[in-house]
Structure 1
Amino acid sequence: MYSSADNSIGEKGATALAEALKINISLQNLTLDKNDIGEKGAVLLVEALKMNTSIQNLNLDKNDIGEKGASALIEALPMHTSLQNLNFEGM
Structure 2
Amino acid sequence: MINLTLANLYLQDNPIGDNGAQALSQALKKNSSLTTLDLWGNSIGGSGAQALGKALKTNSTLATLDLQFNSIGENGAQALGEALKINSPLTTLDL
TM-score bin, normalised by smaller chain: 0.7 to 0.9
Moved over 6 A (4+): none
* Identical-residue share of aligned pairs (%): 48
**C-alpha displacement at 1:33, in angstroms?**
0.8
Q: Distance in 2 between matches of 1:8 and 1:42?
A: 15
The number of residues matched between the two structures is 83
Shift of 1:70: 0.6
Q: Distance in 1 between matches of 2:85 and 2:47?
A: 21
Is 1:57 the counterpart of 2:64 in the alignment? yes
Task: Structure 1: state its 5+ residue gaps.
Answer: none
Give the counterpart letter for 2:50 in structure 1: V
SS in 1 for 2:85: helix
In structure 1, what is the Cα distance between the partners aligned to 2:44 and 2:87?
21
Instruction: Provide structure 2 residue ranges, at least 5 long, that are not aligned to the other structure.
Output: 1-12
**1:5-84 paired onto structure 2 within 5 Å:** 7-84=14-91
- Normalised by the size of structure 2, how large is the TM-score? 0.83
